[in-house]
Amino acid sequence: MGLVTDEVRARAEKYTGDELCREKTKVFLKEANMPNGLLPLKDIEEVGYDRETGVVWLKQKKSITHKFETIGKLVSYGTEVTAVVEVGKIKKLTGVKAKELLIWVTLSELVLEQPTSSGKINFRTPTGLSRTFPVSAFVVPEVEKPAMEKNNATTEVKEAVAVSDA
């Protein structure tokens, strides 16, 4: 875990459970001004974030391959993804590969060139090769949770009053 030392783990915010980890991943991406669909992980077991150093780690049950449909690119996410996060930049990235032609290429850095939804994001490899894509290819529309219906809330309040009167 190169970046994730015992000291970093002790200082970091840590979360477990798939639903909470997915939510926290979106929060970290938003704080870094990165697109919310950049890490479409599944069955996440743990997420950690050390705000002091910017180190983030995500552990999932198994590796996944995701296709970003609008750009036609396959990206593989290992069981553990680590990085150092700054506003507009993810560096020292591990556990992520993109398919180029017939080979899988390790990604090491992602940099926003224009930090807007109509901007560009640059993906870099450890060898210095890079590709630029529109930020919009990595944005997932936010789905709002439906508000609780008034009837349900009223029923719950009446039931609570009835129990306390008994």
Sequence-ordered strand ranges (E) for the chain? 13-16, 44-50, 55-60, 64-68, 73-86, 89-100, 103-106, 109-112, 120-124, 130-134
Q: What is the pLDDT averaged over residues 21-36?
A: 92
Mean pLDDT of the chain: 86
Contacts of 124 (CB under 8 A, 6+ apart): 107, 108, 109, 110, 111, 130
How many CB atoms neighbour CB 77 within 10 A?
Answer: 20
According to the model, what pLDDT value does residue 146 have?
55
If pLDDT is split at 50, 70 and 90, which confidence band does 134 have? very high
The reported pTM is 0.80
Amino acid 151 reads: N
Instruction: Parse the chain into domains and list their residue ranges.
Output: 6-165
Span 36-90, pLDDT tens digits: 999 999 899 999 999 999 999 999 999 999 999 999 999 999 999 999 999 999 9
C-alpha 49/C-alpha 8 separation (Å) is 9
152: its two tokens = 């349900």
- Cα atoms in the 13 Å half-sphere on the side-chain side of 63: 9
